[in-house]
Amino acid sequence: MTDSQFQNVKINRDRLWNDLHETCVWGKGERWGEGNTDIGMKRLTLTDSDKQVRDWFVKTTESLGCKVSIDAMGNIFAVRPGKKDGPPTYAGSHLDTQPTGGRYDGILGVHAGIEVLKTLNDKDITTEYPVGVINWTNEEGARFPISMIASGVWAGAYSLEKAYSLVEVGGGSATQKSELERIGYLGFLEASYKANPIGAHFELHIEQGPILEKSNGKIGAVEGVQAYRWFLITVKGADCHTGTTDFKNRSDAMLTAAKLILHSHNKATEMGCLASTGILTLKPGSTNTVPGLVQFSLDIRSKEDALLLKLEEALKAEFAQIAAGEEAGGLNTLGTRGRGCTVDWQLDTDSPATKFHEDCIKCVEQSAKDMLGTNAAPQVQRMTSGAGHDSVYTSRRAPTSMIFVPCRDGVSHNPAEYCSPEDCGNGAQVLLGAMLRYDQLRAEKGA
């Protein structure tokens, strides 16, 4: 196909919008506005509502002429035949949501893939290699607490046993395996990139950040996913009375934690990284007792693994200095030097930086330019994903890239998450073009 031919294969934007919202009857969440679709989603993985949307997915893709197979993690692969055999070029994402999620995160990526199949049928296009759509299981990690677990098993990052034995959060006793069995999605196909290889993986997703919206960008061509490391930081001091203990005689774990959190921000700013604290607990928890124990989460991120490690090393050294009352980062300049605290680091999650495949990235960029025309340049932006996605794992075993579209105010994991019909359509159109371009590239290379 020529460039002008690619440009003329157009998805049906209204159909996509309608299909997407029709499936959101399964797992309705909180209403946040007056409109028909102003209702969030609560479709936790492997629940009854997840089974309903999975059944719809299988029925719909089979009706489009796809062969559907389900692997041992409940991942669903719908494949439309091409001229030749070979691992399919996939659109993939997930239909599960957070407990207070919206109707775009993950869902849009799967629907856009189905819209690609519908468009190919409408236009009677046969691709060089098979193309397909994947619905990955439990991307969110909200019910069974490891995110991207099923694409992780497929990629060999987790064992099947570990994934099966995960117990639901919130006090229930269901495991990921028992729920796969219960809803009839424990498949026969091995959950493995070896048994079930992928030719390429394209994932359309809302950005979940404000960068595109703020810069009037329309399409993000995602180059990779930043590295992140999650720590549990424990600050130990000593409980004492807030009224009877002067500052000099305190080992104030909360004051020290405040300094460390601020310093992690200052240092991350200096080094062009991110640092965030989302959880903090303290003991004993009384207005007139200086806390002797504080634990807080520290999430640090960078595009580069080496830079992230450099940040970690700096923070480890400087946290200890600050806690001991030494001069570091200006945190002990103005106050009173007390008796000091100790700081302990525990690594909970290590996710190295992911680099997507240049061929795939270029297909996304070119497809975006096909759609946007002569003024495309500032509206198509190369980006790094801040969050993890199933594409992190597929990229370990197959050429991968992602397509980002703006979401309102960068809000996601929230009922009011919103992606406009225009942006949803733009994303699906770019997905179609990228898949067709990549299919042609494979044929040219004979891959």
CB 426 within 8 A of CB 11: no
Instruction: Bin 375: left if φ > 0, else alpha if -120 < ψ < 50, else beta.
Output: alpha
Instruction: Name which of residues 357 to 396 contact its own copies (CB under 8 A).
Output: 385-388
Half-sphere exposure of 227 (CA within 13 A, CB side): 17
Q: Tell me: does residue 287 bind its own copies (CB under 8 A).
A: yes
> Does 84 sit near its own copies (CB under 8 A)?
no
Give the C-alpha separation, 383 to 205, whole Å: 13
The span from the CA of 284 to the CA of 293, in Å, is: 8
Please tell me the distance from the alpha carbon of residue 341 to that of residue 254, in angstroms, as a whole number.
Answer: 10
In angstroms, what is the minimal distance from the CB of 400 to its own copies? 18
Q: Is 258 in the site for its own copies (CB under 8 A)?
A: yes
Site for its own copies in 312-331 (CB under 8 A): 329-331
Q: Is 210 in the site for its own copies (CB under 8 A)?
A: yes
**For residues 190 and 239, which CB has a smaller minimum distance to its own copies in the complex?**
239
Of 31 and 214, CB closest to its own copies:
214
Q: Give the C-alpha separation, 298 to 319, whole Å.
A: 12
Please list, in sequence order, all residues whose beta carbon lies within 8 angstroms of the beta carbon of residue 171, skipping any fewer than 6 positions away: none
User: What is residue 98's three-state secondary structure?
Assistant: coil
With respect to its own copies, which residue has the nearer C-beta, 400 or 414? 414
Cα separation, 20 vs 220, in Å, equals 21
| Segment interacting with its own copies (CB under 8 A) among 41-49, 107-115, 238-246, 433-441 | 238-246
354 binds its own copies (CB under 8 A): no
The H or E element that residue 91 is part of is: strand 89-93
3-class SS at 54? helix
Binding mask 391-420 for its own copies (x = CB under 8 A): -------------------xxxxx------
Per the CB < 8 A criterion, the answer to whether 322 and 329 are in contact is yes
Which residue lies nearer to its own copies by CB, 60 or 385? 385
CB of residue 308 vs its own copies: minimum separation in angstroms?
12
Of the candidate residues 62, 270, 350, 358, the single one contacting its own copies (CB under 8 A): 270
Q: Is 169 in the site for its own copies (CB under 8 A)?
A: no
| CB of 236 closer than 8 Å to CB of 253 | yes
230 touches its own copies (CB under 8 A)? yes
Site string for its own copies, 93-132 (x = CB under 8 A): ----------------------------------------
C-alpha 237/C-alpha 252 separation (Å) is 6
Q: Which is nearer to its own copies, 239 or 359 (CB)?
A: 239
Bridge partners, residue 238, by sequence = 251
308/236 Cα distance (integer angstroms): 26
299 forms part of the interface with its own copies (CB under 8 A): yes
Neighbours of 324 (CB within 10 A): 16
Q: In whole angstroms, what is the distance from residue 406 CA to residue 302 CA?
A: 21
CA end-to-end distance (rounded Å), the chain: 17
- The piece of 69-77, 151-159, 223-231, 439-447 that touches its own copies (CB under 8 A) is 223-231
Among 31, 59, 84, 241, binds its own copies (CB under 8 A): 241
Report CA 72 to chain centroid distance, whole Å. 22
Minimal distance in Å, beta carbon 228 to its own copies? Answer: 6
Tell me which of 172, 184, 335, 378 binds its own copies, using CB under 8 A: 335
Q: Which is nearer to its own copies, 21 or 355 (CB)?
A: 355
- Can you tell me which of 7, 196, 297, 321 binds its own copies, judged by CB under 8 A? 297
Distance CA 258, CA 323 (A): 10
CB closer to its own copies, 90 vs 231 = 231
Q: Which is nearer to its own copies, 2 or 287 (CB)?
A: 287
CB 132 within 8 A of CB 66: yes
Please select the residue that binds its own copies; options are 282, 307, 324, 416, rule is CB under 8 A: 282
Q: Which stretch binds its own copies (CB under 8 A): 171-179, 181-189, 208-216, 434-442?
A: 208-216
Contacts of 114 (CB under 8 A, 6+ apart): 19, 57, 60, 61, 64, 133
Nearer to its own copies, 76 or 261 (CB): 261
By the 8 A CB rule, do 353 and 305 touch? Answer: yes
Kindly list the residues in this chain that would bind its own copies in the complex (CB under 8 A).
207-211, 214, 226, 228, 230, 239-247, 249, 252, 254-255, 257-259, 261-262, 265-266, 268-270, 274, 276-280, 282, 284-291, 297, 299, 301, 329-331, 333-336, 348-349, 385-388, 410-414
